[in-house]
Amino acid sequence: MKKTKAYANVWDAIEPDPARRENLKLRSALMSELTRHIQRERLTQAEAAKLFGVTQPRISNLMRGKIDAFGLDLLVKMAAAAGLRVTMRVQKAA
Protein backbone atom coordinates (compact mmCIF):
# COMPACT_ATOMS: atom_id res chain seq x y z
CA MET A 1 0.00 0.00 0.00
CA LYS A 2 1.31 3.42 -0.97
CA LYS A 3 1.37 6.13 1.70
CA THR A 4 -0.25 9.45 0.88
CA LYS A 5 1.32 12.63 2.16
CA ALA A 6 -0.91 15.55 3.11
CA TYR A 7 0.11 19.10 2.27
CA ALA A 8 -1.17 22.42 3.59
CA ASN A 9 -1.53 23.75 0.03
CA VAL A 10 -0.70 22.91 -3.55
CA TRP A 11 2.58 24.88 -3.55
CA ASP A 12 3.95 22.73 -0.72
CA ALA A 13 3.25 19.68 -2.87
CA ILE A 14 4.73 20.85 -6.17
CA GLU A 15 7.56 23.30 -5.39
CA PRO A 16 10.63 21.89 -3.65
CA ASP A 17 12.49 25.22 -3.33
CA PRO A 18 11.33 26.93 -0.09
CA ALA A 19 11.97 30.50 -1.32
CA ARG A 20 10.14 29.98 -4.61
CA ARG A 21 7.34 28.17 -2.77
CA GLU A 22 6.75 31.14 -0.44
CA ASN A 23 6.87 33.55 -3.37
CA LEU A 24 4.26 31.49 -5.22
CA LYS A 25 2.02 31.43 -2.13
CA LEU A 26 2.17 35.22 -1.85
CA ARG A 27 1.57 35.82 -5.56
CA SER A 28 -1.30 33.34 -5.58
CA ALA A 29 -2.98 35.02 -2.60
CA LEU A 30 -2.65 38.49 -4.15
CA MET A 31 -3.96 37.28 -7.50
CA SER A 32 -6.96 35.68 -5.82
CA GLU A 33 -7.76 38.87 -3.90
CA LEU A 34 -7.45 41.04 -7.00
CA THR A 35 -9.69 38.69 -8.95
CA ARG A 36 -12.27 38.72 -6.14
CA HIS A 37 -12.11 42.52 -6.08
CA ILE A 38 -12.82 42.70 -9.81
CA GLN A 39 -15.75 40.33 -9.44
CA ARG A 40 -17.10 42.00 -6.30
CA GLU A 41 -17.01 45.43 -7.94
CA ARG A 42 -18.40 43.98 -11.19
CA LEU A 43 -15.61 45.56 -13.22
CA THR A 44 -14.99 44.73 -16.84
CA GLN A 45 -11.44 43.76 -17.73
CA ALA A 46 -10.99 47.15 -19.39
CA GLU A 47 -12.24 48.97 -16.26
CA ALA A 48 -10.01 46.87 -14.02
CA ALA A 49 -7.01 47.53 -16.26
CA LYS A 50 -7.58 51.28 -16.06
CA LEU A 51 -8.04 51.15 -12.29
CA PHE A 52 -4.96 48.96 -11.72
CA GLY A 53 -2.79 50.86 -14.20
CA VAL A 54 -2.12 47.88 -16.47
CA THR A 55 -3.31 46.66 -19.86
CA GLN A 56 -6.44 44.60 -20.46
CA PRO A 57 -4.38 41.54 -21.50
CA ARG A 58 -2.68 41.69 -18.07
CA ILE A 59 -6.11 41.53 -16.42
CA SER A 60 -6.98 38.57 -18.65
CA ASN A 61 -3.82 36.82 -17.45
CA LEU A 62 -4.75 37.64 -13.86
CA MET A 63 -8.27 36.25 -14.27
CA ARG A 64 -6.90 33.09 -15.87
CA GLY A 65 -4.47 32.53 -13.00
CA LYS A 66 -1.29 32.90 -15.07
CA ILE A 67 0.93 33.20 -12.01
CA ASP A 68 4.21 33.30 -13.95
CA ALA A 69 3.05 36.51 -15.67
CA PHE A 70 3.19 38.45 -12.39
CA GLY A 71 5.82 39.44 -9.86
CA LEU A 72 5.10 40.50 -6.30
CA ASP A 73 5.95 44.14 -7.01
CA LEU A 74 3.37 44.45 -9.77
CA LEU A 75 0.68 42.68 -7.77
CA VAL A 76 1.25 44.97 -4.78
CA LYS A 77 1.08 48.02 -7.09
CA MET A 78 -2.16 46.75 -8.61
CA ALA A 79 -3.68 46.15 -5.17
CA ALA A 80 -2.70 49.62 -3.99
CA ALA A 81 -4.12 51.20 -7.16
CA ALA A 82 -7.40 49.39 -6.44
CA GLY A 83 -7.49 50.88 -2.95
CA LEU A 84 -6.60 47.61 -1.24
CA ARG A 85 -4.14 47.37 1.66
CA VAL A 86 -1.57 44.59 1.53
CA THR A 87 -0.21 43.32 4.82
CA MET A 88 2.41 40.70 5.51
CA ARG A 89 3.07 38.40 8.42
CA VAL A 90 6.34 36.56 8.94
CA GLN A 91 6.60 33.61 11.28
CA LYS A 92 8.87 30.68 11.89
CA ALA A 93 8.28 27.78 9.50
CA ALA A 94 6.69 24.68 10.96
Q: What type of residue is 11?
A: W
Reply yes or no on whether the pLDDT at 13 is more than 80. Answer: no
Task: Measure the CA dihedral 69/71/77/82, to 10°.
Answer: 50
Q: For the domain that residue 46 is a member of, what is the CATH number?
A: 1.10.260.40
| Total domains, the chain | 1
Question: Is the pTM of the predicted complex or chain greater than 0.75?
Answer: yes
Q: What does the pLDDT look like over 17-68, one tens digit per residue?
A: 778 888 999 999 999 999 999 999 999 999 999 999 999 999 999 999 999 9
Q: Which structural domain, as residue segments, surrounds residue 75?
A: 18-81
Q: Is residue 2 part of a domain?
A: no
Q: Is residue 34 part of a domain?
A: yes
Question: How distant, in Å, are the alpha carbons of 38, 68, 75 from that of 48?
Answer: 7, 20, 13
